[in-house]
Structure 1
Amino acid sequence: MGRSHIRNVPAEASGGQSWGKHSAVPPGGFSLVRVPIAMISELNRELYAATTGVPLYHYTSLAGVKGIIDTGLLRATEITYLNDSTEMAHTVSQLDPETWFREGFGKLESKLFVQFREWISHRLTAGHKLYVGCFTANGNLLSQWRSYCPPTRGVNLGFNGAKLTASACDQGWKLGKCIYEQDKKEEIAIEVLNEIEDLAERKGAKAGSFQHIFEELETHLLEIAALLKHPAFHEEQEWRIVSPVITNYVEADIEYREGASMLIPFMKFGLPHAPDRRVDLEHVYLGPTPNSNISMESLSNYLSKFGASPRNGVQYSNVPYRTW
């Protein structure tokens, strides 16, 4: 029997019949319809298969530029330390409504999804870890100059998306496009829970626990969660490089930097390079600054001197934003 995708449809649309293993029409006049879906591993691959023909930019500071160009590395931050306070927990909020809906359809579902809610509520935020580097398809956005760059010292480094993907693959990382659309996130939640339910049916509980089912899918769940973003951030058009799942922070190559109120864990990611370039940049924006002419000159000269001259040049932002 093929796998299936549970959908809620009005009972009249299904002729008042139930579908799949559920024999009763749920309260409220809805029945469950099953349609084919891919396995969660295939869903994961699809989410990280997105490509782009435009440069992907990383907003930073003049000090950040020097650190990146001097080393050829980007600091990828542990995901729960990013500026979005709902990181990872947002995925829990997407899964919760569907688990409550399914809980009433039998003893297996009730026990399974009660346990899953308890497990995922702490596991995504306090379990294994992911490290991410953030990029955007929008290279010259006022809100991002304000949010991610210090006043008068902002720079945005643009990279070729295909080259970023290749660099990520070489290091065991992935590049993925963030998802903001609510309907898409709901579809993903349904597919994830279908996979959990199918595994539970096939493998059963161990001493009354389904934790082994959840642990089997944990890596895929983390990698999917890394791309689900709150819609309030949609204008950022974010893409992320995502590390392999870190299961042992003591043995992993994790370093720490000083943050505003805490130490921030990070890992180093090797950026694209070429035989004639220490860092292979596609394009660079210089952010709003009072001395744009000489700042443009010094930035261009620095990039040329240290083997990182962008293929399509350095451009001034021209965003009418003044902090001086």
Structure 2
Amino acid sequence: MNIYHYTDLNAVHSILDTHKIRMTDIRFLNDKTEFLKGIEILRDASEDIFSGEEDYSPGFIAAVTMWLPKIFEELENFQYPDEVLYVASFSRSEDTLSQWRSYGMFAVGLNEDILFDELHFNKIDYIECHYVIDPGDAIEIAENLLHEKALQVLNQRWLEDDPTNQNPMLSIDLKEIISLLATTFKHACFSEEEEIRIVKRADPEAEAIKFRAKNNLLIPFFELELSPEVFTSIRIGPLDNQKLVEHTLDIYVAHRQAKLMSQEINVEYQMVVESSEIPYRTL
């Protein structure tokens, strides 16, 4: 199955030439507002998170109850630079007008299975988004995520006898998990995007972090290098002269394939160039 990265033609060219996807510091994306909304939902869900629960150690419950207020306060304020998240977005929807209008008139298709394996190898999280239609449902989803992805996992690592004081370190892991879960909540109006996010935690001072200029800001980003066979198709949005655009991309794809073969890179697929079925209209 394919997933799609909507963007412009310059980015398509760069991605397919370098096999790299940019992951941007979430603090410099519109997603920051959604991240904070996710934190709010998770905070509300955590208020009675242990109510009626009998599977957790009493000591663990007491510690987590003490940790959570500080964790949420720190995440809301992006206090610690070691908690910076780098994000890239993809969609299961291959031909959506709102995506074309918002992100660009081209999309790169990626093989989801191969991508997932490479993300796992690079310790990058692969996250399905949840769309907040009903606040009550969102809190229920958040409660389930907190139990399944955080509390049950950390409770198994809790030491009843802790002579070396290892238990407090679990608060760091809890904070990291909550920060990841917060990126999964989106407003219901974006539900047709069927978004998937990949998320990397990194020190902003790491050598791998690069910067690009935009609107008088230097935006930090991380380049994720993938194998050529991850990329399977190019989809063209509802453009004028769509057939001509398709022809030029066919030429580029043939050139790319020959280049990969000359480098003895074993790419056993033929990249597909296809066009949107949405009709082009001028205003």
Q: Same fold (TM over 0.5)?
A: yes
Q: 1:170 aligns with which of 113, 118, 121?
A: 121
Q: What does the per-residue CA deviation read over 1:184-209, in whole Å, with 9 as the maximum and x for residues that have no partner?
A: 233224556855996899589xxxxx
Distance 2:145 2:122 in 1: 27
SS of aligned partner of 1:156 = strand
Residue 93 and residue 211 in structure 1: after superposition, are their counterparts in 2 closer, same or farther (change >3 A)? farther
Taking only aligned residues, the RMSD between alpha carbons, in angstroms, comes to 3.6
Distance 1:109 1:260 in 2: 46
Residue 104 and residue 169 in structure 1: after superposition, are their counterparts in 2 closer, same or farther (change >3 A)? closer
What is the aligned partner in structure 2 of residue 119 from structure 1?
A: 71
**TM value normalised by structure 1:** 0.66
CA shift for structure 1 position 233: 2.3
SS of aligned partner of 1:180 = strand
Does residue 130 (structure 1) correspond to residue 75 (structure 2)? The answer is no
Q: What does the per-residue CA deviation read over 1:220-262, in whole Å, with 9 as the maximum and x for residues that have no partner?
A: 233333333333322211112222x21x321341111122352
Alignment map for 1:89-100 (pairs within 5 Å) = 89-100=36-47
What is the aligned partner in structure 2 of residue 285 from structure 1?
A: 235
SS of aligned partner of 1:285 = strand
Residue 216 and residue 138 in structure 1: after superposition, are their counterparts in 2 closer, same or farther (change >3 A)? closer
Aligned residues with identical type, % of pairs: 26
How many correspondences in the alignment? 257
| Greater relative contact order structure (CA < 8 Å, 6+ sep) | 2
Moved over 6 A (4+): 102-106, 108-111
Distance 1:201 1:94 in 2: 29
What is the aligned partner in structure 1 of residue 16 from structure 2?
A: 69
Distance 2:6 2:275 in 1: 14
Q: 2:249 aligns with which of 286, 291, 299?
A: 299
SS of aligned partner of 1:139 = coil
CA shift for structure 1 position 109: 7.4
What one-letter code is carried by the residue in structure 1 that aligns with 2:92? Answer: A
Q: What does the per-residue CA deviation read over 1:130-184, in whole Å, with 9 as the maximum and x for residues that have no partner?
A: 21221110011000101111xxxx2111111011112223323233322336242
What one-letter code is carried by the residue in structure 2 that aligns with 1:61? Answer: D
Task: Answer yes or no: is the 8 Å Cα contact 2:180–2:199 preserved in 1.
Answer: yes
Residue 267 and residue 197 in structure 1: after superposition, are their counterparts in 2 closer, same or farther (change >3 A)? closer
**TM value normalised by structure 2:** 0.75
Q: Which structure carries more helix by proportion?
A: 2
What one-letter code is carried by the residue in structure 2 that aligns with 1:147? Answer: S
Does residue 139 (structure 1) correspond to residue 94 (structure 2)? The answer is yes
Distance 1:165 1:143 in 2: 26
Residue 261 and residue 230 in structure 1: after superposition, are their counterparts in 2 closer, same or farther (change >3 A)? farther
Residue 251 and residue 104 in structure 1: after superposition, are their counterparts in 2 closer, same or farther (change >3 A)? same
Does residue 258 (structure 1) correspond to residue 208 (structure 2)? The answer is no
What one-letter code is carried by the residue in structure 2 that aligns with 1:64? Answer: A
What one-letter code is carried by the residue in structure 1 that aligns with 2:182? Answer: A
Q: Which moved more, 1:90-99 or 1:108-117?
A: 108-117
**Larger gyration radius, structure 1 or structure 2:** 1
Task: Answer yes or no: is the 8 Å Cα contact 1:87–1:229 preserved in 2.
Answer: yes
Q: What does the per-residue CA deviation read over 1:108-147, in whole Å, with 9 as the maximum and x for residues that have no partner?
A: 9799646522332323634312212211100110001011
Residue 157 and residue 112 in structure 1: after superposition, are their counterparts in 2 closer, same or farther (change >3 A)? closer
Residue 103 and residue 294 in structure 1: after superposition, are their counterparts in 2 closer, same or farther (change >3 A)? closer
CA shift for structure 1 position 293: 1.6
Residue 195 and residue 202 in structure 1: after superposition, are their counterparts in 2 closer, same or farther (change >3 A)? farther
